Amino acid sequence: MNRKVLASLVFILLLAGCALIAKRGSLKNCEFKFKGVEVTDFSLPEMTLTVMVSAKNTNDIDVVVDKLSYELFINGKKALTGSMGQGVTIAPGETDILNTTVTFNTVEIGPTIAWAVKEGKANYDLRGTVHLGSTRGTFAFPVFVSK
């Protein structure tokens, strides 16, 4: 009898874990639109902005974003760091605003942007960490996007 109960419990926990992962992985199917930017702090040489992006959930399940942190590199040089420390859940068919904090050095980013504009191209790498919350704690997964 104990083995059946244990097997049932393990099965239920696995299903719950799959649901948690599915909700957190469904962010990639959302539709995103830039909504605005606000200067949060400006003390030379650094500037901090809050970037607002609307996310429409086109999935048939909730989208859950627990926490996100990232760095953007342009032509091999770190251009900015960003984070979204506040969790959000977006119901199917609904739209919510995601606020991300972006910090960059105004002196260092200038030459990088000027070179990219002059050349008409830029290589970028986005390196980040997605933090997924669960009943067993928070798990961190690396994210890497390159162009």
Distance from chain centroid for Cα 79: 17
**pLDDT for res 26:** 61
Q: Domains in the chain, ordered, with CATH?
A: 2-146 (2.60.40)
* Chain segment 79-119, per-residue pLDDT in tens: 889 898 778 888 999 999 888 898 988 888 888 888 888 88
**Percent residues over pLDDT 70 in the chain:** 80
Helices and strands in the chain: count of H runs, count of E runs: 2, 9
Question: Taking the CB of residue 143, how many other CB atoms lie within 10 A of it?
Answer: 12
The reported pTM is 0.64
Question: Which long-range contacts does 33-42 make (Cβ < 8 Å, 24+ apart)?
Answer: 35/97, 40/101
